A and B are shown apart, each in its own frame.
Chain A
């Protein structure tokens, strides 16, 4: 059993959620480290020496092209083999917001064909603008290791903040496989827990998909930000009472528990 869980939080110019991701892992009891992509590229740091990999949100390389595209392209050209090994060894990999976009660009999500090809995109929101709001989400945990600490069917609230978050699968087949395999683990719902339109689904995502896990359950891409709600006091409605603890907290607890038990 491993006591010290080492987490690599990958940064490059324009990533900007690394601080809250770092704090969330730290406050979960892990040993996080921010690693500039450059250091993986030049070999100063090795992916294989970490237990968990996290892709933070932000605007990698400014997102002036397609969100996440530049970061993914840089990784594909130099680090794809290391990344595939990391994923295939079963270690947890998570990306939120821009990190989700990067995971999709890398072909790690949804990867229904298991060829790490581009099977989906996170397209501009239907409102055609940046959306920052709290959303209701339904957890369908499947065997996604990040969700092991939730009840199946649980409704949670997390913030979103993005302009490109509309999950669009490449074709119907990809969507069918996602649904059939139970990979659509986090979905936008309304306050009653039912599927609904904008603004409950803030970006127009196909099938209200907010987060997708790979079939093996160790790679999670999610548009909302669990790392921003580690404690109750950053839930947007905490002053109204209730709330047991930050709703993003179980994501980290789940990943940590898994790493401690498995390694």
Chain B
């Protein structure tokens, strides 16, 4: 019980609601009146006013960022529980099984708000945070990924898109390269949608021996809490509250962005994993949003324990920090290890060996009370259940009536010119100017990287493949899917399309999809139309994952990506992982030889809404391509069977820019052309070439394996033409539609780079 008048008491007793909301504002708590009154009732029952540490701790735990209070009800309904038998464990990251001994841990999350304010630091700490989530499961990170969404328009009061882009890329590069984990997969999408609300979605994949998977729950008294890694400072205070509100301008809130130190992180990963490898770690968790407050609270609460922490023991960057600042600071590169008393010495020795600062700061206790002391005084004394259980909201939602107007553009004449425009479009052309600044071969395990094909003229790959254990033949495939353009028109189909693309990419390298992480980006959930979009997106994700029977093992929700009247579409970025059973069966999209048969798996569509073709023609509207998960499953898994049994020499999925763009990309890494005849497709030539049918692939089949291939794929495959030397040609019967040289394709694809 805290004595009245001791420390910094927050007078809440008997206050009216406007006074409560004034307190929330003054202390930057970001809580509603309803939440403040709930706190008031709790402390009235305790017979006292809360301390500032207590109020801040509760505000952290109840923030949208930490508690998912606006999304949890819906996530439970649509996302949790699908494909459960495939989930090995869940926590800071989710795990699926690679083989009998090994699990894959992976997660994708957003670092949108910090990156919009301070792009370099925001993006760098995004990488740092996601790495810690993987290490928290006891797993060795093997790959970092990032999908970035940049604006194209300067908005008054916010930094220019160029500045943001430069900062974000440099932040990822400088952190990722220094920490020694390859950045192997990702994407960049440019659109006016993301001015000024840039999105930085970062993912990480790791592997762990199943018996070494750690949880974060502490369910025994007397377990010591060790804070390890970076020291605690004033950087990143109230980060979670900032991430749970609409941006007012680009200049505020800069103190809420943390500072990263990759060369502290690199040995910290080693040390923590070594301690885990030696069986010394009881439980662990990373210190991210909400700092010690969130982590200690959750570790104890999830195991049904209470505990005590001595704040004076926390190693600090600056000496005059207030207790509440120490308790909620989001300083980077910190982990909390729960260790049985007799193992503490050994753990501290390992830390010492790696030059890591580590300190015992508290322990678990029977009961449900968490007590925090500072300078001999009790500054927090709370029931952990109360602290970690926010009000969940089922916010009002409304679905916007959409009138689908199918528009028919004029029949084009110069198809070659249209195609070259697409290849050099800023959303299609090479990402080498960014990706070649990321180390994608460190750890020496990259089997398929971001670029494949002939050295010196590599083209894009669909997914990356990492061989985590040099003694085994299995590989982990990693990729992403998202399409904000579809989602902007139709959040439901956009959700399905994101899953479709993820699965297509995994199949394209010869991997069996194992599961997804969903990083959900949206606007202000307090607006009914946004909540409506959010729910529609979830329905799309649900239907696809359910039919595929693949789990979402982890994810995050980023609301409030709004500034003034500008907001982003509601859409997911999906991180998908798959298993390549034998790496020698992995496959890349560059054509392998001339005079081989090219097949289309899938059917072109007349639904052109959101397609690159329509966007370039500035056609607003039209139905977005339809993804049917049952079709996806049939085609995808049959194609996988054909790949694994050696019928196929290259595969590329059909995405932005349709069949013609996909085939152009297959010529880039190979220097091998193609001759297609569109006659069997029976559609308008532009729709045949440029529509973006879902669940579609272009496949180069090995010589004399055509019959076997057709037998496996059945009616889902259609012969389109042959690979050839020198050029890419498209005809329809006698009519010549496209004839372009391979060097022209290469030059257009490399536009802006070299």
Contacts and interface: CB of A to CB of B under 8 A. Distances in A.
Contact of B443 (A20, A131, A239): A20
Interface string B609-631: 00000000000000000000000
Contacts of A225: 441, 444
A233 to B, nearest CB: 5
A20 B466 CA distance: 13
Contact of B444 (A24, A61, A63, A131): A24
B129 interface: no
A130 B437 CA distance: 5
Interface stretch (A9-17, A109-117, A142-150, A214-222): A9-17
A133 interface: yes
A234 B263 contact: no
Interface stretch (B49-57, B191-199, B454-462, B477-485): B454-462
Chain B CB within 10 A, most for which of A57, A131, A134:
A134
Contacts of B587: 239
A13 B266 contact: yes
Interface in A49-77: 57-59, 61-63
Nearest to A248: B444
Nearest to A240: B592
Interface residues of B, number: 46
A14 B179 CA distance: 7
A240 B449 CA distance: 14
A17 B592 contact: no
A62 B178 contact: yes
A236 B445 CA distance: 11
Interface string A228-244: 11110110111111000
Given A16-B178, A130-B177, A161-B439, A240 B266 contact: no
Interface string A1-35: 00000000000011011011001100100000000
B332 interface: no
A161 B437 CA distance: 8
Contact of A129 (B437, B439, B458): B437
Contacts of A100: none
A36 B354 contact: yes
A190 interface: yes
A27 B470 contact: yes
B293 to A, nearest CB: 29
Contact of A20 (B436, B442, B584, B754): B442
B498 interface: no
B267 A13 contact: yes
B750 to A, nearest CB: 11
A13 B357 CA distance: 13
Contact of B583 (A36, A58, A233, A236): A233
A136 B457 CA distance: 13
B451 interface: yes
A46 interface: no
A38 interface: yes
A157 interface: yes
A227 interface: yes
Contact of B173 (A130, A136, A190): A130
Residue of A13, A24, A157 with highest tally of chain B CB at under 10 A: A13
Nearest to A39: B353
Contacts of A134: 455, 458
A117 to B, nearest CB: 28
A240 B587 CA distance: 9
Given A62-B178, A130-B177, A239 B455 contact: no
Interface string B80-96: 00000000000000000
Given A20-B442, A159-B441, A234 B447 contact: yes
A86 interface: no
A230 B470 CA distance: 10
Contacts of A14: 178, 262-263, 266
A13 B355 contact: yes
Given A14-B178, A233-B467, A228 B454 contact: no
A20 B444 contact: yes
B544 interface: no
A161 B441 contact: yes
Given A59-B177, A236-B458, A237-B452, A229 B470 contact: no
Given A23-B444, A58-B180, A228-B441, A239 B353 contact: no
Nearest to A232: B584
A179 B584 CA distance: 41
A159 B262 CA distance: 23
Given A13-B267, A132-B441, A239 B458 contact: no
Interface in B419-446: 435-446
B439 A240 contact: no
A43 B575 CA distance: 47
16 contacts: A14-B263, A17-B180, A19-B180, A20-B442, A20-B445, A59-B262, A130-B437, A132-B435, A132-B439, A135-B455, A191-B456, A228-B442, A233-B447, A236-B441, A237-B454, A237-B458
Given A20-B445, A130-B437, A199-B754, 10 more contacts: A16-B266, A23-B444, A58-B266, A59-B262, A59-B263, A132-B435, A161-B442, A228-B443, A234-B444, A241-B592
Interface of A: 13-14, 16-17, 19-20, 23-24, 27, 36, 38-39, 57-59, 61-63, 129-136, 157, 159, 161, 190-191, 199-200, 225, 227-231, 233-234, 236-241
Interface of B: 173, 177-180, 262-264, 266-267, 353-355, 435-449, 451-456, 458, 467, 470, 583-584, 586-588, 590, 592, 670, 754
